[in-house]
Amino acid sequence: MDWIKRMDKILNYIECNLTDSIDLNEIAKIACCSNYNFQRIFSFCMDIPLAEYIRNRKMSVAAWELRESDISILDIAVKYGYSSQEAFSRAFIKFHGITPKQARNTQARLNIYPKATLMYMEENKSMNNHVSSYYLERKPTGELFKNKAPSPITLNFPVSMWSYMEYLGHNTNTLQTYTLVSTLCGDAYNSGLTLTEDSGILTAMDTFGYSCKIYSTRQGDLNYLPEMDLKERILNEIVVNGRPVIAINVVDCCFGGVIVGYEESGECLLNWGYFPFDYSDDPKPMITECREWYKKTQKVIFVDERSNEPIDLKQVYITSFKKATEYLEKKASLKTDTFYSEWRTRLLENETVISNDYSLIDPMWCDFAEKRFYAGQFMLQLKTFFPEFETMLNELWTIFARNINNLMYQYIAKVDLAPGADCETINMTKLNDIGIREEMCEIIDSVEKEERKAIGIMKEIYSHMM
């Protein structure tokens, strides 16, 4: 217990001195051991080097100060011990995936590394459910392999919800259902690599007759739930209520899935892994082990059984089309007024650190093109219910699924990035060429022009729908 108290004192010392000089010799005195030995002990206990822990805490606190105050970036850089704004920006981008300037946007996602805490336990506490392993049997489905969607692996929530409905046997036309879900929740109209907002998830669920509760694994979110509490609820939902759980992004099975069981009392969750890109004819469940699932999951959705009320599919399409139109023109969601200008600004700033989340490759990533493909697919499906708009809907299909798709692939080809390739294959020599980046900006202009044209057509259609 004395060691626990000393470690708590050290963690508090670090926390109180994030903006001052942290004296490693002072830390060693508190630990009653040499500086070298303490750093070895710290890495062993915390699973992170001491220097990296301090850096992560500084980046976490500095980010919130950037967002909540009007202090200049240079002053904050100096405050947290960086010799220059450039050095601070490099460290900031590496940790958060966005620039300090972008962090001031309240919609930007920040990474938070919480202060470490230590718990002393007399003995290992097991879960309330004492069965070491359990999983649900797969329920029979309708037309299981009919009308498969072409690999929507990068759209987060729709893939998970699609799989859930397939599991319960409520999905008999996979492409139609998948496209409707991605349109309703806004995922088909979002920017690349952006997780669906809770409001979009609730809209999609409600439209298809489900009610649900959404929990986040990210500290700071209003619906945040700690790992142990979330694990307990998942096990209870599976064993007691006999219902699977939707996990979004990422549970060892491409961007989310349906949790149908567990092993080792919840340490390893089992993911029912059938997705549109799985063309197996084997009717048995494909179980994927989801170790460290909590670290790989951003949202978990507990879904109540669907109501028996019949669904008016035409009305669903009207609702979906209205949501799509609102989503594209609404500043607070896609931020049409700023999205493209920010994209161009980042490109011309020539960021030196590329990340998979918020950087030059965010909209460059084929995810953006794929989302627009499903936006176009939705327009084709809409013709069944509104043949009088066939000409305009065909034009929307061309804008989303062909024009924007082609432009995005021209864009990534400028830096030798192939569709679906790893970001590390980007030709950095070309990316650092201002002439090539200016050509890429011209493509962005064309994409924006196409999207604004689509918004005008959609608003015109909707004004005659009702």
Question: Can you give the C-alpha Rg of the chain in angstroms?
Answer: 25
The CB density around residue 128, as the number of other CB atoms within 10 Å, is 11
Provide the pLDDT for residue 400: 93
What is the number of residues in the chain?
Answer: 466
Is 291 in the same domain as 319? no
Provide the pLDDT for residue 331: 45
Tell me the sheet residues that pair with 300: 215, 247
With 50 as the cut, is the pLDDT of residue 123 above it?
Answer: no
Provide the pLDDT for residue 152: 52
The whole-angstrom separation of Cα 336 and Cα 368 is 14
Does residue 378 belong to any structural domain of this protein?
A: yes
Provide the pLDDT for residue 402: 92
* Structure confidence by residue, pLDDT tens digits, 143-173: 444 444 444 555 678 878 877 887 777 766 7
Q: Are strands 245-248 and 268-272 parallel, antiparallel or unpaired?
A: unpaired
458 or 45, which is more confident: 458
Is 297 in the same domain as 323? no
Would you place residue 124 in the very low, low, confident or very high pLDDT band (cuts 50, 70, 90)? very low
| Termini Cα distance of the chain | 70
Q: How many Cα atoms occupy the beta-carbon half-sphere of 205 within 13 Å?
A: 22
From residue 136, alpha-carbon distances to 146, 164, 265, 269, 291 in Å are 24, 13, 15, 12, 18
Amino acid (1-letter code) at residue 57: R
Does residue 110 belong to any structural domain of this protein?
A: no
Amino acid (1-letter code) at residue 310: P
Is 287 in the same domain as 324? no
With 80 as the cut, is the pLDDT of residue 273 above it?
Answer: no
300-313 b/e (C-beta count within 10 Å ≥ 16 → b): bbbbeeeeeeeeee
Compute the Cα dihedral for 216, 217, 223, 228 and give only its sign. Answer: positive
Share of the chain above pLDDT 90, in %: 12
DSSP single-letter state for residue 284: S
Domain boundary among 241, 275, 303: 303
Would you place residue 287 in the very low, low, confident or very high pLDDT band (cuts 50, 70, 90)? confident
Would you place residue 280 in the very low, low, confident or very high pLDDT band (cuts 50, 70, 90)? very low
Is 295 in the same domain as 319? no
Is 139 in the same domain as 173? yes
Provide the pLDDT for residue 311: 79
Is 282 in the same domain as 147? yes
Is 343 in the same domain as 457? yes
The chain-wide mean pLDDT, for the chain, equals 78
Does residue 119 belong to any structural domain of this protein?
A: no
Would you place residue 332 in the very low, low, confident or very high pLDDT band (cuts 50, 70, 90)? very low
Min mean pLDDT across 59-73, 116-130, 210-224, 324-338 is at: 116-130
* Structure confidence by residue, pLDDT tens digits, 227-247: 888 888 888 888 878 888 998
Contact predicate 73/101, CB 8 Å = yes
Is 421 in the same domain as 333? yes
In the numeric block, the tokens 């299981």 are attached to: 144
Is 337 in the same domain as 235? no
Provide the pLDDT for residue 284: 57
87 or 281, which is more confident: 87
Would you place residue 286 in the very low, low, confident or very high pLDDT band (cuts 50, 70, 90)? low
78 cis-preceded (ω within 30 degrees of 0) = no
DSSP notation for 397-466 = HIIIIIIIHHHHHHHHHTTTPPTT--GGGS-HHHHT-HHHHHHHHHHHHHHHHHHHHHHHHHHHHHHHH-
Would you place residue 106 in the very low, low, confident or very high pLDDT band (cuts 50, 70, 90)? low
The CATH number of whichever domain residue 77 belongs to comes to 1.10.10.60
Supply the angle between the helices 390-397 and 434-465 in degrees, to the nearest 10.
160
Does residue 450 belong to any structural domain of this protein?
A: yes
Min mean pLDDT across 45-49, 115-119, 285-289, 332-336 is at: 332-336
With 80 as the cut, is the pLDDT of residue 412 above it?
Answer: yes
The whole-angstrom separation of Cα 382 and Cα 378 is 6
Provide the pLDDT for residue 190: 78
Q: How many Cα atoms occupy the beta-carbon half-sphere of 364 within 13 Å?
A: 29
Compute the Cα dihedral for 9, 14, 15, 20 and give only its sign. Answer: positive
From residue 332, alpha-carbon distances to 66, 193, 197, 301, 336 in Å are 21, 17, 12, 24, 9
With 50 as the cut, is the pLDDT of residue 355 above it?
Answer: no
Task: Please give the angle made by the CA atoms of 208, 134 and 251, to the nearest 5 degrees.
Answer: 55
Q: Is 425 exposed, middle or buried (0-12, 13-18, 19+ CB in 10 A)?
A: exposed
Contact predicate 362/93, CB 8 Å = no
Share of the chain above pLDDT 70, in %: 78
Would you place residue 442 in the very low, low, confident or very high pLDDT band (cuts 50, 70, 90)? very high
Is 336 in the same domain as 447? yes
| Structural domains counted in the chain | 3
Does residue 125 belong to any structural domain of this protein?
A: no
**Domain containing residue 442:** 313-465
Does residue 166 belong to any structural domain of this protein?
A: yes
The whole-angstrom separation of Cα 430 and Cα 438 is 11
With 70 as the cut, is the pLDDT of residue 278 above it?
Answer: no
Provide the pLDDT for residue 210: 86
Is 291 in the same domain as 153? yes
The CATH number of whichever domain residue 212 belongs to comes to 3.90.70.10
Does residue 115 belong to any structural domain of this protein?
A: no
pTM above 0.75, yes or no: no
Provide the pLDDT for residue 128: 46
Host H or E run for residue 104: none
Average pLDDT of the segment spanning 298-318 = 84
With 70 as the cut, is the pLDDT of residue 362 above it?
Answer: no
Domain boundary among 279, 303, 327: 303
* Structure confidence by residue, pLDDT tens digits, 70-90: 888 888 888 888 888 888 888
The whole-angstrom separation of Cα 198 and Cα 194 is 12
Find, among 281, 285, 221, the residue nearest to 259 by Cα: 285
196 or 276, which is more confident: 196
Is 186 in the same domain as 286? yes
SS3 of residue 213 by DSSP: strand
Conformational region of residue 237, where left means phi above 0, alpha means psi within -120 to 50, and beta covers everything else: alpha
Domain boundary among 242, 275, 303: 303
Average pLDDT of the segment spanning 353-371 = 56
Does residue 112 belong to any structural domain of this protein?
A: no
The whole-angstrom separation of Cα 188 and Cα 205 is 16
Conformational region of residue 264, where left means phi above 0, alpha means psi within -120 to 50, and beta covers everything else: left
Provide the pLDDT for residue 317: 92
